[in-house]
């Protein structure tokens, strides 16, 4: 019997089939409100993955992000690992020197950044040796630089199915904040992240029921307050998708409403 692979891709397909109509919202302080669904996000994730592929991103490549808790970050949580690349969320609070060290050591091929960090990225560019492609998230405003905008990457991509991956494929890369010495890196496989997602979902579901119809309406929405650059936002973007809960992304680390 063929082994079932524990990959984020298989969780994504499940979420699309079972919770296609559940809302995913982007409600930042500056008012660029977006209301989507898991079904719509599924197609955007596929297009984003294919758009990155067209830009030369391939299996094993590192895709770094410098972003807040945005809906684009949510899409990248699925798209980069889903295509066989490795997502590498960068801690926006680190010193520029540490960011340079991390990007160079990780070998990040792509850096996708929110426009809020455009001035920082422009200063870092001469020192980021492995980065070949820069993509900005303009978040409803005018582009801050001449770099390619992520919506253009999504538009040029096609909604092709994600590849079948081994569960031992590296899905993400993470670094410590360098409390002692330089930041230190680790990688996470699809299998590790899926097992964490399943265990987290079981823990969250213990008091409200595992499937969407079984939970009280007022408890079926999750506001992503944990920074997504911090240990995968505790894995909640994946866990609450698996549970079929509405998710709200508030942009910068500020208050938001559901």
Helix ranges, 19-95 (H)? 38-54, 71-82
At 180, the pLDDT band (50, 70, 90 cuts) reads confident
> What tokens were used for 90?
């960068």
pTM of the model: 0.93
- Are 238 and 8 contacting, i.e. CB atoms less than 8 angstroms apart? yes
Q: What is the pLDDT of residue 206?
A: 56
Query: Residue 202 above 90 pLDDT?
Result: no
Query: Residue 219 above 70 pLDDT?
Result: no
Average pLDDT of every residue of the chain: 92
CATH for the 8-177+184-249 domain, from 3.40.50.150, 3.40.50.12780, 3.40.50.300, 3.40.50.720: 3.40.50.12780
Distance between CA atoms of 245 and 247, rounded to whole angstroms?
Answer: 6
Query: Residue 217 above 60 pLDDT?
Result: no
Strand partners, 86: 62
Distance between CA atoms of 16 and 176, rounded to whole angstroms?
Answer: 33
Q: What is the mean pLDDT of residues 157-163?
A: 97
Segments making up each domain of the chain, as ranges: 8-177+184-249
Q: What is the mean pLDDT of residues 192-198?
A: 97
């Amino acid at each position: 019997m063929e082994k079932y692979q524990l990959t984020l891709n298989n969780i994504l397909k499940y979420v699309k089939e079972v919770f296609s109509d559940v809302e995913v919202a982007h409600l930042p302080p500056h008012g660029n409100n977006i209301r989507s669904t898991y079904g719509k996000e599924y197609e955007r994730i596929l297009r984003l993955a294919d758009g990155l592929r067209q830009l030369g991103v391939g299996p094993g490549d590192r895709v770094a992000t410098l972003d807040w808790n945005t809906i684009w970050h949510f899409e990248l949580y699925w798209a980069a690992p889903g295509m066989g690349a490795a997502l590498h969320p960068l801690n926006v609070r680190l010193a520029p020197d540490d960011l340079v060290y991390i990007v160079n050591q990780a070998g990040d091929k792509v850096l996708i950044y929110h426009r809020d960090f455009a001035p920082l990225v422009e200063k870092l560019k001469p020192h980021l040796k492995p980065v070949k492609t820069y993509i900005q998230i303009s978040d409803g405003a005018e582009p801050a630089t001449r770099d390619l905008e992520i919506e253009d990457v999504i538009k040029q991509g096609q909604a092709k199915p994600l590849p079948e991956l081994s569960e031992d494929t590296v899905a993400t890369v993470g670094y410590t904040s360098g409390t002692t010495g330089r930041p230190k890196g680790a990688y996470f496989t699809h299998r590790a992240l899926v097992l964490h997602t399943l265990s987290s979902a079981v823990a969250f579901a213990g008091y409200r029921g595992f499937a969407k119809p079984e939970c009280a309406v007022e408890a079926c929405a999750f506001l992503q307050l944990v920074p997504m650059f911090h240990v995968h936002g505790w894995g909640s973007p994946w866990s609450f998708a698996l549970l079929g809960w509405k998710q709200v992304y508030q942009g910068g680390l500020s208050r938001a409403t559901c």
